[in-house]
Structures are given as C-alpha cells and as structure tokens.
Amino acid sequence: MFDTLQDRLTATFRSLRGKGKLSDADINESLREIRIALLEADVNLSVVRDFIAAIRQRAQGEELSKALNPAQQVVKIVNEELIAILGGETRELRLAKKPPTVIMLAGLQGAGKTTLAGKLAQWLKAQGHTPMLVACDLQRPNAVTQLQVVAKRAGVAAYAPQPGNGVGDPVEVARDSIGIAERHLHDVVIVDTAGRLGVDEEMMRQAADIKAAVEPDEVLFVVDAMIGQDAVNTAKAFQDGVGFDAVVLTKLDGDARGGAALSIARVIGRPIMFASNGEKLEDFDLFHPDRMAGRILDMGDMLTLIEQAERHFDAEQSAKAANALLAGTGEFGLQDFLNQMQAMRKMGPLRKVFAMMPGMGQMRDQLDALDEREIDRIEAIIQSMTPAERADVSILNGSRRARIASGAGVTVSEVNGLVNRFVEARKLMQSIGGMVQQMGPPGGPSGRAGRRGQSRKKGGRKVSGNPAKRNAASQPAVPSVTDLQDTLAAFATGGPTEAELQAAMKNFQLPPELQQMLNPKNTGPR
C-alpha cells in the first residue's frame, strides 16, 4: 500500500538525520523531494501546491527553529499535514433516528460496489445491526446473482425481486425495499446501484431517481483507488449529477502510489469514510486519516494492529502462555505455540500484519518473500503430534518423529528442524525474560548506579539476617508479564541516550543460541 510514495518519503527524511540544525537549503531540498514524490504518486497538482506551501510556512517559522531535533520536527509537520489532506478525522456512519437507515452506493462499473456492499453489510452485522442488501443494478449481466452470493457469504438478507440482465425497474425495487425492511425488522438498507464504464446521462438520471425515491441517510461514492487522480474527475461528475456524502476507497491494497487517497478528500470536500484493502469480506474498515498518514511515513499502524489482535486473540490464554514462556519451567509447549500462531493468522496474511509495524517498509523484500506455505507445514507437523508430545518435546524419539513426519507428509529432517528451532527459541525467550528481571529499572540496584556501587564492594556474598528475606533471595526470579511491561516502560522513560543506542547497535551481535536457531542447516536430532 503506497509503496512507491513511502520509499521516496523515507529516503528524504533519512537524509535529514544527524543534522543538528537545518538550513534553508536543507529545507528547500527536502520540499523538492517531497513535491516530486507526490507528483509521481499522481496526486492532484493543487493539493501538492497547498501541501508544500503549508509545510514551508511551518518549517521556516519558529516551530522548527525552537525544536530540539529539527529533523524529527519536519517529520512531525509532514505527518500532521498528511492527516489534514486525508480528511483530518475519522468520519463515522450516520444512522437514522427511526430505522431503517438507508445507505446508497454509487460509482462506476468495476469499482467494486457489489462486493463492497457485502463487506459493509458484514461490518454492520458485527456492530449489532441487521442489514439487508437491495439489488438495484439491473443492467450488468449477473449483477443480481452476484449480490445474492455476496449476501449469503456475509450472512445477511438480500432483496432481489427482479432478475436483472436488463429486465426490471430499479427505482421501483429501491422504493419497495424500504417497506420490506420495516416488515422484516432490518435496521439498515444498503442499495447497490448500477454503474457504467464511463459517466453518462442515463446513469446519472437513474441514480438521481433512486436517491429521490428512497431519500438515503448516506450516499457513498465508491471509487477504485488504483485509478489515481482520475478518481477526482469521476467524483466531481457524481457530485454535480447526484451528490454524495462520503467516499469509499476500494482495492487500496493494490495502490502503490496513493494519488486517489491524497487528492479526493481535499479537492471534492467530502471525507473518506471506508477503505477496502483486500478481496475477503473481512478486509474492510473505517478510514482513519492519522493511521494512514503513519503508514505512508513508515511509522506503522499499531492501533489497527492492536484492534485486530483484540478481536482474534484470547487475552487470558495469551497471558498464560507468556507467563509459562518467561517462567522458564518448560510449560510452554508446541500446543501453546500453535494456538498463538493460528490466532495471528486469523488477523490476515502475515505480510499485511507485519507491514503494520513501524519501520517494516525497509524490509518489504523480506515480507514479499514470506511463504505462508511454510506455516501450513509447521501446523501439519504439530497437528500430527499427540497432546503429550506437544506438551513435552523431549519424549520425541526416532520412531515418534518418523510417525509424525509420515502423518504430516514431510521428511524427518523437517520435524527435527522444527523441534530444534522451537527449543532454541524457547530457551532464548526464557533467557531474555530472566535478563529483564535481573536488570530492573534504570538507576536501580541493577542500573548504572547499582553497578558502580557493586564495583566498590569487597569480599564474599552477604546474607541477610532475616529468614524471610534469606528464603526469598534463594528463590529464582520468575518474571511476569506485568514485570516485563513495567520494566520496558521504565526504560522508555529513562533509558539510554540515542548516541548510546547507536554505539550499541554498531557492536550488536546475535546470541549464539539465536544464530544456531536461524541456521537452516540446524536439523540434527535433539
């Protein structure tokens, strides 16, 4: 999503790092690169001019001169201006005070109106509504059948009294659907209208008649995000001919430029309400300008990632698995690993999930090379194990591994490799948990001050005279999830400086256990 634009902007901001003060020449060069990036992304020229002018005004004022880190302040300014041209704030769906709420979809043929009707219906159903789809596209071949299939997939009702294929009156169908919805207690009616390959008078007249017949609460203009700036021209024609309240972007996952998303809200003056970024009915959600701006600037979309995780992960189960992993007692088994992996896959393709993390735009090649068939093979291997084998991999002898390989349709070496990598990864995570527990917050007994104090100590280990403290000191420290969160929060507020982090990263080496785990030749028996 917006890969080309993201790469250009990331390269521009990377050149500003390390500069304690930005000159006018630096600012002008950065603005030039941003302007070229937006024009290459097929953003409307008037939008580019206003965007660059707003950044220039803020960058050459006191806002940048008084900043502690001017380079980061430039990124902040660009982020805020991107949010502004994307709409500023999230636009919520307006519901009628007296049901049913009527939502009318309009747009050109091929924009994905029918599929989007099913996505919107499923999204509304998850919100607690009872939507009904209405087939008013009676011109396109098999449009009525497609709507019925989409409604069945979404698990909602469909009203399609006319066969379509050029037969039937769409205005009459739309008018009758309101009474049908009231009788069957449907609180939302989604009207799918006909489109054309181009804007014509007949299409506009029919859409205007349907709008007058049903008096919709929301008129949504559906547009293909991949057509770029041409979406603005089409939106202008629909705004003049029919009128609409908000925009819905489809096929956003295939848009590498972002011209439509960055132009249409500012030029038309109507917000983007929804965005569709995949073929599945679940690939649909509200459009958040702040989150989209973060994705464009390669800052990730952690809020969306958290929301998806909350929908698909069992919080109690995940906390139990994390405690078992950090405790170092060996209770974290392959069944726990399988449960967490399956929950993650429910969030969508792993490539999309990882892409929502900050800085992952620089690892796009690795993400594109990610083969989820490997995940399928891992699931097959674990599913071929008995519950006892999943809980304790140490009982896996040669005959058990041969049986598992035969059941999963893989080789014994692949089973060995999975077991070895799992054991090494578990050992690594347990060691990290122990180190975090031992370090404690910065400035504490294990921080810099604590280390200075320990270096002055002479002699052997001192033992407390209190029996309770002595017994507590003899017990191994078992970090919990709360301890880990508190420690990380402490480091976030009082951790090392940026210079120290850069020096540490230069000298960073993977632990031997992790190097061995990542070695593809590590397939020997364990």
Q: What are the structural domain ranges in the chain?
A: 3-85, 101-299, 318-447+477-518
> Quick one: CA torsion of 425, 426, 430, 432, rounded to 10 degrees?
20
Q: Which of 172-181, 205-214, 236-245, 503-512 has the lowest mean pLDDT?
A: 503-512
What is the average per-residue pLDDT within 87-110? Answer: 88
Q: Tokens for 216?
A: 């919709």
Q: Which of 49-53, 111-115, 169-173, 471-475 has the lowest mean pLDDT?
A: 471-475
Percent of the chain with pLDDT over 90: 17
What is the average per-residue pLDDT within 87-108? Answer: 89
Please list, residue by residue across 78-114, b when 16 or more beta carbons sit within 10 angstroms of its beta carbon and e when fewer do.
bbebbbbbbbeeebebebbeebbbbbbbbbbbebbbb
Q: Which residue has the higher pLDDT, 499 or 364?
A: 364
What is the average per-residue pLDDT within 463-479? Answer: 48
Does the structure show a pLDDT above 50 at 69?
Answer: yes
pLDDT band at 124 (very low <50, low <70, confident <90, very high): very high
Calculate the alpha carbon distances from 366 to 354, 361, 362, 363, 496 in Å: 11, 10, 9, 5, 30
Residue type for 519, please?
N
pLDDT band at 484 (very low <50, low <70, confident <90, very high): very low
How much is the pLDDT for 495? Answer: 44
Fold of the domain spanning 318-447+477-518: 434 Repressor (Amino-terminal Domain) (1.10.260)
pLDDT band at 476 (very low <50, low <70, confident <90, very high): very low
Q: For residue 151, give the nearest of 173, 124, 170, 175 by alpha carbon.
A: 124
How much is the pLDDT for 517? Answer: 52
What is the average per-residue pLDDT within 28-47? Answer: 88
How much is the pLDDT for 153? Answer: 93
What is the average per-residue pLDDT within 1-29? Answer: 78
Does the structure show a pLDDT above 50 at 56?
Answer: yes
Tell me the torsion sign for CA atoms 423, 426, 428, 431: negative
Does the structure show a pLDDT above 70 at 513?
Answer: no
DSSP for 113-167, written as a single string: HHHHHHHHHHHHHHTT--EEEEEE--SSTTHHHHHHHHHHHHT-EEE--S-BTTB
Percent of the chain with pLDDT over 70: 72
Q: Tokens for 116?
A: 């989007």
Q: For residue 240, give the nearest of 201, 190, 198 by alpha carbon.
A: 201
d(CA 354, CA 290): 19
Q: Which class is domain 3-85?
A: mainly alpha
What is the average per-residue pLDDT within 338-342? Answer: 80
What is the average per-residue pLDDT within 120-125? Answer: 92
Helix (DSSP H) and strand (DSSP E) numbers for the chain: 26, 8
Does the structure show a pLDDT above 70 at 174?
Answer: yes
d(CA 347, CA 10): 27
Using only C-alpha atoms, what is the Rg of the chain? Answer: 29
Q: Which class is domain 101-299?
A: alpha beta
Q: For residue 318, give the nearest of 348, 301, 342 by alpha carbon.
A: 342
